[in-house]
Structures are given as structure tokens and as C-alpha cells.
């Protein structure tokens, strides 16, 4: 059975925790898109980890972890991450697709230079090189992992690649040129380090499907950051949807039987772009400090996340475009300090109320329509069944369930693995 765990919103919904939890019953955990630009925070008996490249299945020794073809492979970053988890005593099995593309030094530099050039109009990029990487991939000038093992070919490819890039560096950005020989040497070193981990992962996955193995596909970011269906252009440069998992991992789409979509009990977002239910000032500071396991600050960049009330319009859309078969709500415990809790149930624009997610400019102009619910004002961490939650907390979950039109199968009431409440 193949299960995908993906985000309904802007990312940071707590997918890492749920994936780590579900990985226990999985034979294989796969990262199928994105790169080192977003991270999952996982807290378990081995410690607290921020994973950016490694799949969340690494904490289960028998689970095979795959970095699939759809991922932007930052080898330098991956090595550092492997060192960190290994030094915490984590042992794992990892395979990297020979078709995954390699993030190169100029991608990171281009990301930086372009944000600098854009000034006020910048996208709020994490400067991990993701947009230039995917631009190269789809312009067919990227580099697949297998190419690292054919030295003559590699040198030729790099030579051709940097002729064009250096023109851009010199004349558009007024920056130093890159010596392709240096990049070549770095890549040869990388190739050697990962050689035992490289394989045809789509074959491994096809075989695993035939053998009826349990496969978990792990998404990064959320539906609203999807290149096509999100808040373009304030999106990421690869598809974040469960539908893309079939391509990014190389598995038959009809085999993905379970699509678990994660949403958080309130909203948070990083980067620029419209955010209808965003809150500001003291109200936002308080929620930001209470949020997640140690405040809403980016796992990759440490920058404060934008926060707001739960957006039922955006979340319903996020669940629908993902094709949710179930929904998990995380961070319900975070809201325990509030007397009243608002939920955005519509968008008002030009005197009309919309229940549909809108295109970017309209989202900027839209005002939130709120329904106010009563808070529960009591700590709910440590409660071990949904029925034992205060009535107001149950009512909050049930209200949202009705608004988004999807069943919430689990509610998370703390960052730890076992802080999870199952619904019937
Ligand atoms: P991901 O990228 O979707 O995995 O999300 P992040 O890891 O960036 O952000 C989720 C944050 O919320 C992390 O700090 C988690 O440890 C934390 N978290 C997950 N579930 C819960 C929960 O139910 N309650 C609280 N308080 N924190 C949670």
C-alpha cells in the first residue's frame, strides 16, 4: 500500500511528526520533491532533529529511506545532515536515485544574486538555490546523479554549462565568474562519498509495490506553495501535491491509496505572498511564541513565521487539490491560552463573500470573514483520547471538519510521537 503524507497549507503543518509516526509501519519512506529549502522538525526518543534532505523514516532502523528523482539533491547539505543524525546514534538505510538532479554551487549564488537584484520585489527565498535549480532542470541543463560517474562526460557538461552561467554572473549581476574545474573537483568528491547509496530507485519502488510493501511518500511544504495550484509566484519551484508523488518517486498514480493531508489548528506561513487570515502585533507575537514545539520560527532559516487564524477556505482547497482521503490536525494544544478563537470561513471581496480559494491578486484584496468559537482555556497536553478533550476543543475540531468537508482522523496535542488522539 502506498500512502502519501502532504500539507494542506503553506507548509510547516507538522508533517514530519506524522511521517515519523507512520514510518514505524512502513518498509520504505520516500522524499519525492523539494530540496533543502524546507525542513521537518522531529522529536523522538533519539532527540530533536531538523531534517531537510533525509526522509523522516531514518529513525526506524529497518525502514529503507529513498531520496527519489524529484528531489533537488544538495549533497553538501546531505552530508552534514547525515553527520548530525549519526552522531546522535541514529542508524539508517538510505538510497539516492540515479536520476535525482544535483544542486550545484551556482544555484545558491543565483538565488542570492537574484533576490539582491529584485530588492523590494524579492520573493523571500530561503536562498537554497531551489528556483534556479528547477529552472535548469526544466531547461534541460541540469545534472543527474548518474552523470557524476562518467568523468569525461561530466567535464564536458560543466564546461558548456558554465559558459552561459558566467555571462550571466559577469554582465547581469556583476559578480565573479565560476571556474568549472573547481566545480568538477567538488562533484568528483561528492560522487565518491555517495557511490554506495546510488541506485535505480524507481525499479526498487516498482518491485516493492509488486511485493505489497508499505511505502510512505513524504511531501514538503503544502498545497498553497504548489507551483501550479498555489499562490503563484510566491510558491516553491516544484509541485508539492500528492499527485506529483507519482512522478517525483516514480510509482503508479493509482497505487497511492491513502493521501493523508496535514493541517495545523491555526495558520502559519513563511516568505512573501497573500495570507488572508494573517494577524499582526501582540496578538500575532503571542501565537508565534506559543506555536509549534518552540515557537513559530523556520526550521531552515530561523526566521519568524507569519501567523494567523485557521483558514477553512484555504484548507478545504488544500485538501481538495491534494485529493485527501484523511486529514490530520496538529498543534491543537497551542490554542489552549485563548478565550476565543477565530476561524476564517469566507473571503470578502467587492462586497461579495467567496468560499473558493482565489487567484493571487484577489487574495491580496480579500478580507477574512470570521466565525468566533469559544476557547477551552486549559492545557490539553497529556490527554490521551479525543473524548477526554474539553467540549470546546472537540467543538473546534468538529466545526473545522464541517467547514473543510473532510474527516479529521487524528488530532495532535503535542510535538512528541505519542501525543496523538485518534478519532473513530
Ligand atoms: P513540517 O515541515 O510540516 O514537518 O512542520 P515543521 O516541523 O516545520 O513545524 C511543525 C512544528 O510543530 C515542529 O516544531 C513540531 O515539533 C511541532 N509540532 C508538531 N505537532 C505538534 C503538536 O501537536 N503540538 C505542538 N505544540 N507542536 C507540534
HEC profile of 70-94: CCEECHHHHHHHHHHHHHCCCCCEE
Q: How far is ligand 1, taken at its centre, from the CA of residue 295, in Å?
A: 9
Q: Reply yes or no on whether the pLDDT at 324 is more than 90.
A: yes
Distance CA 83, CA 375 (A): 44
The percentage of the chain sitting over the pLDDT mark of 90, rounded to a whole number, equals: 83
Give the pLDDT score at 141: 93
Q: How far is ligand 1, taken at its centre, from the CA of residue 399, in Å?
A: 22
Q: Give the residue, out of 17, 38, 315, 330, with the most ligand 1 atoms within 8 A of its beta carbon, to mutate for a pocket test.
A: 17
Choosing from 20, 40, 60, 106, which is the catalytic residue? 40
Q: Reply yes or no on whether the pLDDT at 299 is more than 70.
A: no
Q: Which residues sit opposite 356 in a β-bridge? A: none
Q: What is the pLDDT of residues 50-72, one digit of tens each?
A: 889 999 899 999 999 999 999 99
**Weakest-pLDDT range from 5-9, 93-97, 110-114, 118-122:** 118-122
Q: What is the pLDDT of residues 221-269, one digit of tens each?
A: 999 999 999 999 999 999 999 999 999 999 999 999 999 999 999 999 9
Buried-state track 304-328, b at ≥16 Cβ within 10 A, e below 16: bbbbbbbbbbbbbbbbbbbebbbbb
Give the pLDDT score at 174: 92
The set of protein residues with a Cβ atom below 6 angstroms from ligand 1 is 7, 11-17, 38, 40-41, 43, 292-293, 299, 330-331, 333-334, 412-415
Q: Give the residue, out of 9, 16, 56, 315, with the most ligand 1 atoms within 8 A of its beta carbon, to mutate for a pocket test.
A: 16
Give the pLDDT score at 246: 96
Cβ–Cβ under 8 Å, residues 215 and 205:
yes
Give the pLDDT score at 281: 96
**Rounded average pLDDT over 144-149:** 97
Q: What is the pLDDT of residues 190-232, one digit of tens each?
A: 999 999 999 999 999 999 999 999 999 999 999 999 999 999 9
Q: Evaluate the CA torsion angle 138, 141, 145, 146 in order and state its sign.
A: positive
Q: What is the pLDDT of residues 1-41, one digit of tens each?
A: 999 999 999 999 999 889 888 988 899 999 999 988 777 77
Q: How far is ligand 1, taken at its centre, from the CA of residue 106, in Å?
A: 32
Q: Give the residue, out of 37, 292, 379, 396, with the most ligand 1 atoms within 8 A of its beta carbon, to mutate for a pocket test.
A: 292
Cβ–Cβ under 8 Å, residues 113 and 81:
no
Cβ–Cβ under 8 Å, residues 59 and 42:
yes
Ligand 1: atom nearest CA of 7 is 3
Q: CA nearest 10: which of 307, 371, 418? A: 307
Distance CA 120, CA 320 (A): 34
| Active site annotation includes 40 | yes
**Between 234 and 43, where is the model more confident?**
234
Three-state DSSP at 372 gives: strand
Averaged pLDDT of the chain: 94
**Between 300 and 16, where is the model more confident?**
16
Grid coordinates given for 226: 504548489
Buried-state track 249-282, b at ≥16 Cβ within 10 A, e below 16: bbbeeeebebbbbbbbbbbbbbbebbbbbbbeee
Cβ–Cβ under 8 Å, residues 114 and 154:
no
Give the pLDDT score at 127: 79
Q: Reply yes or no on whether the pLDDT at 126 is more than 90.
A: no
| Active site annotation includes 12 | yes
Q: Reply yes or no on whether the pLDDT at 181 is more than 90.
A: yes
Distance CA 261, CA 173 (A): 41
Amino acid at each position: 500500500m502506498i500512502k502519501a503524507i502532504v500539507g494542506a497549507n503553506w507548509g510547516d503543518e507538522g508533517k514530519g511528526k506524522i511521517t515519523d509516526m507512520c514510518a514505524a509501519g512502513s518498509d520504505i519512506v520516500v522524499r519525492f520533491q523539494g530540496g533543502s529549502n524546507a525542513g521537518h522538525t522531529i522529536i523522538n526518543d533519539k532527540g530533536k532533529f531538523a531534517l531537510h534532505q533525509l526522509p523522516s523514516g531514518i529513525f526506524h532502523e529497518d525502514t529503507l529511506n529513498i531520496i527519489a528523482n524529484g528531489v533537488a539533491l544538495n549533497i553538501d547539505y546531505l552530508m552534514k545532515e547525515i553527520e548530525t543524525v549519526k552522531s546522535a546514534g541514529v542508524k539508517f538505510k538510505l538510497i539516492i536515485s540515479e536520476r535525482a538532479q544535483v544542486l550545484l554551487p551556482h544555484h545558491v549564488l543565483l538565488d542570492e544574486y537574484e533576490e539582491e537584484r529584485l530588492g523590494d520585489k524579492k520573493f523571500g527565498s530561503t536562498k537554497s538555490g531551489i528556483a534556479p535549480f528547477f529552472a535548469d532542470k526544466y531547461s534541460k541543463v541540469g545534472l543527474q546523479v548518474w552523470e557524476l560517474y562518467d568523468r569525461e562526460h561530466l567535464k564536458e557538461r560543466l564546461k558548456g554549462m558554465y559558459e552561459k552561467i558566467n555571462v550571466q554572473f559577469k554582465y547581469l549581476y556583476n559578480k565573479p565568474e565560476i571556474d568549472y574545474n573547481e566545480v568538477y573537483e567538488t562533484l568528483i568528491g561528492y560522487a565518491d562519498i555517495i557511490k554506495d547509496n546510488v541506485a535505480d530507485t524507481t525499479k526498487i519502488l516498482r518491485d516493492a509495490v509488486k511485493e505489497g510493501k508499505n511505502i510512505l511518500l513524504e511531501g514538503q511544504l503544502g498545497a498553497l506553495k504548489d507551483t501550479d495550484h498555489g499562490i503563484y509566484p510566491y510558491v516553491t519551484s516544484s509541485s508539492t501535491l500528492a499527485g506529483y508523488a507519482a512522478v517525483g518517486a516514480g510509482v503508479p498514480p493509482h497505487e497511492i491509496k491513502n493521501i493523508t493531508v496535514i493541517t495545523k489548528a491555526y495558520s502559519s506561513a513563511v516568505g512573501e505572498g497573500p495570507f488572508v487570515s494573517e494577524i499582526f502585533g501582540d496578538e500575532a507575537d503571542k501565537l508565534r511564541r506559543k506555536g509549534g514545539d518552540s515557537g513559530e520560527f523556520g526550521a531552515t532559516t530561523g526566521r519568524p513565521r507569519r501567523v494567523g487564524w485557521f483558514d477553512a477556505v484555504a484548507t478545504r482547497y488544500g485538501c481538495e487539490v491534494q485529493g485527501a482521503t484523511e486529514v490530520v490536525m496538529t498543534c491543537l494544544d497551542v490554542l489552549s491560552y485563548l478565550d476565543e478563537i477565530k476561524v476564517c470561513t469566507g473571503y470578502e471581496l467587492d462586497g461579495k463573500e467567496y468560499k473558493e480559494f482565489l487567484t493571487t491578486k484577489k487574495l491580496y484584496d480579500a478580507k477574512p470573514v470570521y466565525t468566533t468559537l469559544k476557547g477551552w482555556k486549559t492545557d490539553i497536553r497529556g490527554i490521551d483520547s479525543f473524548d477526554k478533550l474539553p467540549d470546546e476543543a472537540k467543538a473546534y475540531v468538529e466545526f473545522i471538519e464541517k467547514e473543510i468537508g473532510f474527516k479529521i482522523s487524528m488530532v495532535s496535542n503535542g510535538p512528541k510521537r505519542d501525543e496523538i488522539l485518534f478519532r473513530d
